[in-house]
Amino acid sequence: MKLSPDIATLVPYKPGKPIAETKREYGVQHVIKLASNENPLGTSAKVKEALIKAVGQQHRYPDPAFFELVELASKKWKLSRSQVSVGNGSNEVIDILIRVYCEPGEAILTTDKAFLSYALCAQAARVTRVFSPLAPGYKTDLQAMAKILKTDPRAEKIKLVFIPNPNNPTGTHISDAEVCQFLEQFGNDPNRLIIFDEAYTEYVRTRDYRSALAYMEKYSSVVVIRTLSKAYGLAGFRVGLLFAQPEVIDYYNRVRNPFNVNDLAQVAAVAALQDDEFIARSVENNSRGLDYFYEELKKMQVPFVESQANFVMFDTLRDVSKVNEALLRRGVILRPILNYGFKTELRMSVGLPEENKAAILALKEVFTEIKPI
Ligand SMILES: Cc1ncc(COP(=O)(O)O)c(C=O)c1O
């Protein structure tokens, strides 16, 4: 059967290698996975308690309107209920927004080193991908994006602009001043949405960052996506949040599957959003882990990019496939990012202190075994 070229050439998202697969393939007993930016503290005790109580109600369909979750999220982030919805992970939110707002042949704009899902979901919907280059220091360059929106012949077709802040896999952020300047120009465009993907916002340490939630009232085109997969420790449950104007939420809700977020996931999310102490501990562990990584990477004379997220990208200066293979043999799963065009770099998530230590030790061994190119 003849397929659309977009579908025929689609290369699926390559997630971090699963632990069980690594054990099977490499015959290792103990595996450390620092490849998917998950929360190394696990899932909070309060979430587990709530889940046990909810196990008996699973013969019922979940609440299609996520009443409790929307109520809680709207209060927490000082929005109205009509400005909040939920997805099966933020990945689904991205996918649905593209289907709602872009016809085949229309376009999204993002950077050529942004989280890959924007481009993949667009391709699956036969939507054109326009990419802007990064600025030096692997930074998302809003001026380059603005230039495309003003001068590129495809600009009129661009309906959605995806801005991950902080970005994955680089870990870099965009300052509040840069965001302000961009929104002054494009924040109230009736024909385009500016989508800030804030998957790592809880981890940000720099003082010049501000969530785009602060701009939702002033600028009608601003949309914010959050996830509960990272600091909230619910990656397996698949919960993403969408914050936008009521009209956007309305269309999103029309298109999504009515039961897109299962009951246990909703229960887990409600408990997680109330457990501030767990978030504080997660952020603290992350901050210490990042500092440890920086210190060790410096000692190893390995260039790295300072991160505002829960991972760090560094340059192995070596053939990354060989480095990765040698790490896997030692039971350490990090993340090659070749599919982003990074040929010698790796991305390493922050784990527990002992996991971080073991990963650094393995890297040191591998670096003596494999010579720089
Ligand atoms: C920037 C960014 N956005 C969104 C996601 C998707 O998260 P999820 O679908 O688990 O909510 C990720 C996951 O790694 C990410 O890095």
- Site to probe by mutation for ligand 1, drawn from 33, 117, 211 as the one with most ligand atoms within 8 Å of Cβ, is 117
Ligand 1 centroid, distance to 90 Cα (angstroms): 6
The tokens of 332 are what?
A: 């350490």
pLDDT classification of 236: cutoffs 50, 70, 90: very high
- Site to probe by mutation for ligand 1, drawn from 37, 96, 98, 168 as the one with most ligand atoms within 8 Å of Cβ, is 168
Ligand 1 centroid, distance to 199 Cα (angstroms): 6
For residue 12, what pLDDT is reported? Answer: 86
Strand 304-305, strand 335-336: pairing: unpaired
For residue 202, what pLDDT is reported? Answer: 98
The sign of the CA dihedral 219, 225, 228, 232 is: negative
Nearest of 265, 269, 286 to residue 349 by alpha carbon: 286
Say whether the peptide bond before residue 169 is cis (omega within 30 degrees of 0). yes
Residue for token digits 């085109």? 221
Determine the Cα–Cα distance for residues 107 and 111; give it in Å rounded to an integer: 13
**Above 90 in pLDDT, residue 15?**
no
Q: How many residues are listed for the chain in this entry?
A: 373
pLDDT in tens, 349-362: 999 999 999 999 99
**Above 90 in pLDDT, residue 264?**
yes
Ligand 1 centroid, distance to 104 Cα (angstroms): 24
pLDDT, average across residues 278-291 = 98
The sign of the CA dihedral 198, 203, 209, 215 is: positive
Q: Where are the domains of the chain?
A: 5-43+277-369, 45-275
> Tell me: domain 5-43+277-369, CATH 2.60.60.20, correct?
no
Residue for token digits 């998917």? 36
- Site to probe by mutation for ligand 1, drawn from 229, 237, 241, 243 as the one with most ligand atoms within 8 Å of Cβ, is 229
pLDDT in tens, 181-218: 999 999 999 999 999 999 999 999 999 999 999 999 99
**Above 90 in pLDDT, residue 14?**
no
What angle do helix axes 263-273 and 45-54 make, rounded to 10 degrees? Answer: 150
pLDDT in tens, 91-146: 999 999 999 999 999 999 999 999 999 999 999 999 999 999 999 999 999 999 99
Ligand 1 centroid, distance to 365 Cα (angstroms): 31
pLDDT classification of 330: cutoffs 50, 70, 90: very high
Helix, strand or coil for residue 171? Answer: coil
Helix or strand holding residue 22 (H, E): helix 19-26
For residue 16, what pLDDT is reported? Answer: 86
In angstroms and rounded to an integer, the radius of gyration of the C-alpha atoms of the chain is 21
Ligand 1 centroid, distance to 105 Cα (angstroms): 25
Strand 335-336, strand 345-349: pairing: antiparallel
Determine the Cα–Cα distance for residues 183 and 185; give it in Å rounded to an integer: 5
- Site to probe by mutation for ligand 1, drawn from 13, 14, 88, 90 as the one with most ligand atoms within 8 Å of Cβ, is 90
Enumerate residues lining ligand 1, CB below 6 A.
37, 89-91, 115, 164, 168, 197, 199, 227, 229, 235, 240
The residues that bridge with 132 in the sheet, in sequence order, are 111
Ligand 1 centroid, distance to 301 Cα (angstroms): 30
Q: Which atom of ligand 1 is nearest to the CA of 91?
A: 9
Q: Which atom of ligand 1 is nearest to the CA of 169?
A: 16
pLDDT, average across residues 53-75 = 97
For residue 13, what pLDDT is reported? Answer: 86
Determine the Cα–Cα distance for residues 68 and 84; give it in Å rounded to an integer: 12
Q: 158-175 as b/e, with b when 16 or more CB fall inside 10 Å?
A: bbbbbbbbbbbbbbbbbb
Ligand 1 centroid, distance to 8 Cα (angstroms): 25
Q: Which atom of ligand 1 is nearest to the CA of 240?
A: 11
Q: In this structure, which residue's CA is closest to atom 3 in ligand 1?
A: 199
Say whether the peptide bond before residue 64 is cis (omega within 30 degrees of 0). no
**Above 90 in pLDDT, residue 79?**
yes
The tokens of 266 are what?
A: 């909703």
pLDDT classification of 167: cutoffs 50, 70, 90: very high
For residue 247, what pLDDT is reported? Answer: 98
The model scores a pTM over 0.75 = yes
For residue 169, what pLDDT is reported? Answer: 97
Q: In this structure, which residue's CA is closest to atom 13 in ligand 1?
A: 199
The residues that bridge with 247 in the sheet, in sequence order, are none
> Helices in 152-221 by DSSP H: which ranges?
176-186
> Tell me: domain 45-275, CATH 3.40.640.10, correct?
yes
pLDDT, average across residues 224-251 = 98
Q: 249-277 as b/e, with b when 16 or more CB fall inside 10 Å?
A: bebbbeebeeebbbbbbbbbbbbbbebee
Nearest of 37, 54, 57, 58 to residue 46 by alpha carbon: 54
For residue 104, what pLDDT is reported? Answer: 93
pLDDT, average across residues 275-295 = 98
Determine the Cα–Cα distance for residues 146 and 155; give it in Å rounded to an integer: 10
The tokens of 176 are what?
A: 């509040």
Query: What phi-psi label fits residue 209: left (phi over 0), alpha (psi between -120 and 50 degrees) or beta?
Result: beta
Cβ atoms of 102 and 127 closer than 8 Å: yes
